Amino acid sequence: MKAVQLFEPKQFRLIDIPEPDEPGPGDAVVRVDRVGICGTDISGYLGKMPFYSYPRIPGHELGVEVVAVGAGVTNVKPGDRCSVEPYMNNPNSFASQRGRTNCCEDLQVLGVHTDGGLRPRFKLPARKLHVSKTLSMEQLALVETLAIGCHAVSRCRPEKNENVLVIGAGPIGLSVIEFVKLSGANLIVMDRVSSRLEFCRHTMKVQQTVLAGDGQEETTLRDLTDGNLPTIVVDATGSSASMSNAINYVGHTGKLVFVGITTDLVSFPHPIMHRREMTLLASRNALPEDFGRIIQLIETGQIDTRPWITHRTGFEELIDRFPSYTKPETGVIKAIVEVPS
């Protein structure tokens, strides 16, 4: 069968790979139907993802159907449609034993450390599958993106009417926005790309946005927060410059959350952090319970994934089209790949 492989930065190729083995105890074989393209895939393509290894079959935002299960599997059965939790952890690791499977010391993320879903079929631990009886394959493929935002918001726990700034309105920032809205906090979104802010206002119904780059960002934020600045700032840009500067936007007693990833140095003067007694948090991946929560939220209509998908492509066309997904001017929010059986 065919697979799309990124064998080095900016170089895809179509390769032949064998069919997966029969599932062993605790395993399942799945058929991939839809794959979402996200910032991690783009960073891997550009050579800017610190955890990426080459060559690699990308794809970790997946809508799949279970084909076969191994002995002892009870959570899924053949024919089930599932979202995939792509974080392959060691259950015996220190972090996993503390309930933090998302940042296990031995973590292998599909499409990043180990081969992902841009192939028709593969085998994985059945415990990483989350079933929905009603969601479409495209909706299932968006669950993982939303899980990143869900976990980041869980890390900082915004309260109702608290001022929260989200920096970066790409797919990860949008997932954060969804869960800040659900918290009832007062949401502000900042980005350098005016079209992304327009999408936030008109599609995501965000009332307060700030266009970055004019040097007046802090003044604008103070005007929106009665002079106090936001008490939660989530940086979803993956830009070291933005992440280093974000500390200036955090009010006294506030929290700064880094959900984007950079290979570059992030630095800031300590006195501002100390003076305002800030809390600095990292947010990596998501937890199993996030997937179940998100599936329920989509099923009940509390999250609408339809506006997210701006581009669709077939499996065979992906290699030619992928470079356009790296360019904000093409208007890409979320691209979805249809994988043939």
pLDDT digits (tens, 9 = 90+) for 278-323: 999 999 999 999 999 999 999 999 999 988 899 999 999 999 999 9
Domain extents for the chain? 2-131+305-338, 148-282
Single-letter residue type at 325: Y
Residue 102 has pLDDT above 90, yes or no: yes
Q: Please give the model's pTM, rounded to 2 decimal places.
A: 0.94
Task: Tell which wins on pLDDT, 178 or 51.
Answer: 178
Inter-residue contact 46 to 98 (CB < 8 Å): no
Question: Rounded to an integer, what distance in angstroms lies between the CA atom of residue 233 and that of residue 313?
Answer: 34
For the segment(s) 2-131+305-338, the CATH number from 1.10.10.10, 3.90.180.10, 3.30.360.10, 3.40.50.1110 is: 3.90.180.10
- Tens digits of per-residue pLDDT, 195-227? 999 999 999 999 999 999 999 999 999 999 999
DSSP helix/strand/coil, 133: coil
104-135: b or e for each residue (b if 16 or more CB lie within 10 Å)?
Answer: beebbbbbbbbbbbbbbbbbbbbbbbbbbeeb
DSSP code string of 5-18: EEEETTEEEEEE-P
Residue 263 has pLDDT above 90, yes or no: no
- pLDDT band at residue 80 using 50, 70 and 90 as cut-offs: very high
Residue 76 has pLDDT above 90, yes or no: yes
Phi, psi at 254, each rounded to 5°: -85, 175
Residue 330 has pLDDT above 90, yes or no: no
- pLDDT band at residue 176 using 50, 70 and 90 as cut-offs: very high
**What would the CATH number be for the domain defined by 148-282?**
3.40.50.720
State the average pLDDT over residues 72-77: 98
Specify the pLDDT at position 328.
79
Q: Which residues contact 332 (CB under 8 A, 6 or more apart)?
A: 310, 311, 324, 325
State the average pLDDT over residues 185-193: 97
Question: Rounded to an integer, what distance in angstroms lies between the CA atom of residue 120 and that of residue 338?
Answer: 10
Specify the pLDDT at position 62.
98
- pLDDT band at residue 341 using 50, 70 and 90 as cut-offs: confident
- Tens digits of per-residue pLDDT, 11-38? 999 999 999 999 999 999 999 999 999 8
Task: Tell which wins on pLDDT, 128 or 38.
Answer: 128
